[in-house]
């Protein structure tokens, strides 16, 4: 008998697909219910062909949040921003533990949420209850959480790249970041900007300097004592999966390449899902399909008493940048080994 029962709400999208896949493999968690407004009454394989023949007893169901949570230990939400907060408010009185992949509970200030997400927060009274689900920073808090807000895909990738400098006290002031992302980050519903003929063979920016992941990155690093102003330009790339982030940080010329190397090595020692490649720099194909992140750096020569440290990081946006990290946090919430179902290395090439 498996120890815990789980339900997924919003199971027909890409994030939902990855949650379902990992839960079906999980030795300690039984997936008992998948709620969706699409594919109602149909098997999981109707939305996710890779699940053909797996748990044919499970069907997509149209359910309220409380109906989906009945008899469950945990509910995982893979819904759009603004919709999710209403579901969390409905679930909160039930006492069930909640893992949320949306941005609705990543920020603590309702006014900041309104500025960046363009709407009033539907449940501001619950913002203080949420723990930001980046295990490399908040592992112990996640263990005791009832509500975990899993970080955004860009945010995860950029934060991991900057984390070593933040912990070493070398991160402050303005930081410039360019991050390239794959099309699956836009979700399952086709849009003009993600349509294949427009995206294939193309690079283009969107939301330059105004992407909604900026405030969560700044807040996460500020909690570590690194107060920055992030100037972030996201770029749409002809990839399905993956994010590659390049961040430029100005440090004092007295900071040596050896200092930076020590900061990176020390920051991720013992981390199961963050690695510093020994003989190359990070790349997307090395982490795609896995919950692993790669980080690296390059250090420039001194100029006018300063030098630039370039922080490089790569993740799979749907796994370490999304549902896989959510499962990592879920394992911690339930007192399980955080690596369960997540240790596969992905494929090559």
Helix, strand, or coil here: 293?
strand
Residue found under tokens 């105004």? 210
Give catalytic residues, as residue numbers.
153
CA angle at residue 98 from 215 to 93, to 5 degrees? 110
Give the DSSP H or E segment for 179: strand 173-181
**204-205 and 228-236: which strand pairing?**
antiparallel
Q: Which residues pair with 180 in a beta bridge?
A: 235, 244
How far apart are the C-alpha atoms of 50 and 53, rounded to whole Å?
9
Among candidate residues 233, 230, 205, the one with its CA nearest the CA of residue 215: 230
Q: Are 314 and 244 in contact (CB under 8 A)?
A: yes
Among candidate residues 167, 139, 190, 78, the one with its CA nearest the CA of residue 336: 139
From first CA to last CA, the distance across the chain in angstroms is 38
How far apart are the C-alpha atoms of 161 and 167, rounded to whole Å?
12
Six-digit token pair at 239? Answer: 């990839």
DSSP 129: G
User: What DSSP string describes 19-73?
Assistant: HHHHHHH-SSEEEEEEE-SSSTTSBGGGT-GGGTTS-TT-BEE---HHHHHTT-S
């Amino acid at each position: 008998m498996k120890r815990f029962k789980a339900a997924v709400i919003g199971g027909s999208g890409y994030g939902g697909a990855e949650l379902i896949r990992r839960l079906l493999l999980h030795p300690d968690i039984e997936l008992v219910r998948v709620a969706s407004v699409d594919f109602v009454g149909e098997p999981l394989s109707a939305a996710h062909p890779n699940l053909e023949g797996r748990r044919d007893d499970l069907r997509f169901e149209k359910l309220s949040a409380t109906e989906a949570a009945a008899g469950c230990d945990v509910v995982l939400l893979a819904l759009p921003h603004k919709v999710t907060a209403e579901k969390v408010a409905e679930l909160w009185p039930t006492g069930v533990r909640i893992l949320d992949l949306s941005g609705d509970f990543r920020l603590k200030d309702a006014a900041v949420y309104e500025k960046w997400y363009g709407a009033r927060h539907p449940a501001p009274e619950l913002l203080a209850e949420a723990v930001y689900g980046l295990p490399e920073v908040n592992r112990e808090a996640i263990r005791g959480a009832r509500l975990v807000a899993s970080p955004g895909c860009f945010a995860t990738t950029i934060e991991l790249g900057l984390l070593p400098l933040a912990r070493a006290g070398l991160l402050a002031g303005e930081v410039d970041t360019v991050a390239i992302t794959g099309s699956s980050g836009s979700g399952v519903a086709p849009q003009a900007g993600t349509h294949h003929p427009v995206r294939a063979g193309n690079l283009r920016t969107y939301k330059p300097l105004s992407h909604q992941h900026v405030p969560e990155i700044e807040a996460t690093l500020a909690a570590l004592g690194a107060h920055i102003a992030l100037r972030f330009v996201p770029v749409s790339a002809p990839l399905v999966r993956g994010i590659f982030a390049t961040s430029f940080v100005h440090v004092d010329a007295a900071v040596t390449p050896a200092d930076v190397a020590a900061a990176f090595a020390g920051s991720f020692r013992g981390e199961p899902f963050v690695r510093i490649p020994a003989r190359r720099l990070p790349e997307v194909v090395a982490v795609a399909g896995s919950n692993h992140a790669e980080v690296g750096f390059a250090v420039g020569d001194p100029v006018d008493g300063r030098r630039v440290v370039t922080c490089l990081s790569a993740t799979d946006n749907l796994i370490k940048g999304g549902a896989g990290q959510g499962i990592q946090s879920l394992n911690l919430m339930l007192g399980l080994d955080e690596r369960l179902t997540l240790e596969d290395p992905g494929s090559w090439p």
